[in-house]
Amino acid sequence: MPTVSQTKTFNLRELRLAREACPRRVSWAIAFLRAYALTSVEFPSLRRTYISWPWPHLYEHPEAIGNLVVSREANGESWLFFAPIASAESFSLDRQQGLLERYQSGPVEEVFKNQVRLAHYPFFVRRLMWWLRFHFSSSKRIKRLGTFALTTVARHGVSILDPRAPVTSTLTYGPISDTDQCDVTISYDHRVMDGKEVAEILCATECIMQTRLVQEFHDLAAYHRSLNKAA
């Protein structure tokens, strides 16, 4: 996949303050995933995928499906899994965080059943199944792989410079500085999008995080405070 990466520095001061004031803990990964999914409503190319078989064409999915890369222990080893969140532009921060917590703590053989099963197949079977996932059905490919991926190692103080995943775009972000600045990178399939559009997507995502997401955190905080008072 011919990928290109572009980076923009986000100012996340207002969002950080709103997030810290919210009684419900919501990870930064979910905040970024929510913002990026909302951006995909305005930019349909984020929901498009290049399909090479049986002829080269683009497929556009009606909804955003984000895949978070989650690290889990399985069989005494560290595994990386794709944690899908469908209709990511519609689900609330609260619901998305609940899904992430299930992926992070639920039994690996249950929450990542298909991925664990696929890993135990012989090599040639895995190759065949991957080919089928990529080419047999456009909608099923998106259902299994998502419209975009999100991966980060920011909590270790490290940035990923060129993230790769079998999707049209992959979002990653680095550690947030003391001045609330954060480098955000999108790696994308150049056959689907060009640099100007990705620059606009980065700007739109930052704007959503500075406005709509701040308000969603305020609303979520008010909701949980009302629950605490009722209890």
Per-residue pLDDT of the chain (231 residues; tens, 9 = 90+): 789 999 999 999 999 999 999 999 999 999 999 999 999 999 999 999 999 888 899 999 999 999 999 999 888 889 999 999 999 899 999 999 999 999 999 999 999 998 999 988 999 999 999 888 888 888 889 988 999 999 999 999 999 999 989 999 999 999 999 999 999 999 999 999 999 999 999 999 999 999 999 999 999 999 998 888 876
Residue whose structure tokens are 């532009």: 89
15: tokens are 């969002």
CA distances from 21 to 25, 181, 183 (A): 9, 19, 23
Cα dihedral sign for 90, 95, 100, 102? negative
Rounded to an integer, what distance in angstroms lies between the CA atom of residue 197 and that of residue 230? 47
Count of beta carbons in the 10 Å neighbourhood of residue 168: 27
Domain-by-domain residue ranges, the chain?
Answer: 3-230
Q: What is the CATH number of domain 3-230?
A: 3.30.559.10
Residue 133's pLDDT is: 83
Count of beta carbons in the 10 Å neighbourhood of residue 138: 16
Cα dihedral sign for 40, 45, 46, 48? positive
Residue 230's pLDDT is: 78
Is the whole-model pTM more than 0.85?
Answer: yes
